[in-house]
Structure formats: C-alpha cells, structure tokens
Amino acid sequence: MEIYGVDVLSMTFRGVHALMAAAWLLFDFIVFWLHFKIKDSGAPLDERLERARVMHGIDTVVAYIFLLMLPSGIVLCWVTGTPIFTTGWLSWKHLLYGLIVVDALYLLPISGTALKNLKAMKAGATNVEELNTEIRAKMNQAMPAVWLVWALVFAASLISVLNLKVPKGQEFIFRKTETVSSTNH
C-alpha cells in the first residue's frame, strides 16, 4: 500500500518499532528519576506512595514494550525483506536483546516491592524501619540493572541507525523519487 510515494505498511512498522525503543529509553530514565524519592524514608509517605504507583505503572508499560519488541522486530524483518538469521548486524542486536532478557528476569522479583511495602506502611504496619530498609536495598539492587537495560537498548538502537539504508531505487528516505519529482513539476 502506497500513499504519496510512501510505503505505508513498511513505514508504520519501522515507526512503531523506533517509537517503542524511544519510549523504552525515556521510561527507564523516568523510573531512575522517580526512585530517589521512593527510597527516601524522610519524604512524606503519601508522596512516596504516589511515586511508587507511577513507577509501577511505567514499569508495566516498559514490560509490554520489552515483550512486544521481539515480535514487532520479526514482523519488521518480514515487511522489509531483511533475512532474520543471516544478517550480521541483526545477529548482534539479537544478542543484546538476549542480555536484556537476562536483566529482565533478574529485575522481575524486585519489581513491585516498593509499592507493596509502602502500601503496608500506609495500612499501619508496625515494622516501618524494616520495610524502608527493604525498599532501599531492593532499589539499590535494581538501579544498576535498569541502567544496563538502558545502555543495551541504546546500543541496539545505535546498531539499527548505523545500518539504516535508503530503499533500492529511492533517493529520499521516506518517499519514492518519482513521486517527489512528479509533484515538483
């Protein structure tokens, strides 16, 4: 399907895949920023709880992005005619995704601890000190892994950007040359 010289199907999948990577990078950064207040036991409980709720929501979105990145990438390969198993740069990108999977499996049991503990405090738990210590320990344990994911997603995006090609027979990246020429005359 082509509109104004643009292959809509291919561009849609390329765009969605790229936007998912961009959102992933941004959301990881927001999670990092939010965690400072959440683990700060001196901050008001309601504020910490609100931030933990936001962080949990963002984490869920990031989890969907992470899981849908693989099928969307495979569909993108099919749409753009890129061989999945014999394209060198894609193999290295898949290896980076493999490391992200390991990282995600490491983060899985940590996720949700802060929200659970803060909810317990709000409900009147008596072991506040213990719950705060656990929040701080889990957050400090998770953040290097979050940064590793960020670095791996950034590296994978860089590999893609460096291997971008203008489609055959096209002078412009997004539109077919003939369409651009005919509209200019």
Partner 1 sequence: MFLFWLLWITIVVGGFYLGGGYALSFYRGENGAAAALNAVVYIGFAVYGLPRLVRLFRRS
Least Å from the CB of residue 67 to partner 1: 5
The reply to whether 147 sits near partner 1 by the rule CB under 8 A is no
The reply to whether 109 sits near partner 1 by the rule CB under 8 A is no
**How many beta carbons lie within 10 A of that of residue 11, not counting itself?**
16
The reply to whether 84 sits near partner 1 by the rule CB under 8 A is yes
Instruction: Kindly tell me which residue out of 70, 125, 137, 173 binds partner 1, with binding defined by CB under 8 A.
Output: 70
Residue whose CB is less far from partner 1, 104 or 180: 104
- Compute the distance between CA of residue 115 and CA of residue 36 in angstroms, rounded to an integer: 14
Report the greatest alpha carbon distance in the chain.
77
Residue whose CB is less far from partner 1, 25 or 104: 104
The reply to whether 63 sits near partner 1 by the rule CB under 8 A is yes
**How many beta carbons lie within 10 A of that of residue 77, not counting itself?**
16
Q: At CA 161, angle to CA 159 and CA 162, rounded to 5?
A: 65
Structural tokens at position 72: 């969307």
Based on the number of CB atoms within 10 Å of its own CB, is 19 exposed (0-12), middle (13-18) or buried (19 or more)?
Answer: exposed
Least Å from the CB of residue 148 to partner 1: 16
How many residues make contact with partner 1 (CB under 8 A)?
17
Least Å from the CB of residue 21 to partner 1: 17
Buried b (16+ CB within 10 A) or exposed e, 143-166: beebebbbebbeebbeebeeeeee
Least Å from the CB of residue 79 to partner 1: 17
Which stretches of the chain bind partner 1, using CB under 8 A?
Answer: 60, 63-64, 67, 70-71, 74, 84-86, 88, 91-92, 94-95, 98, 101
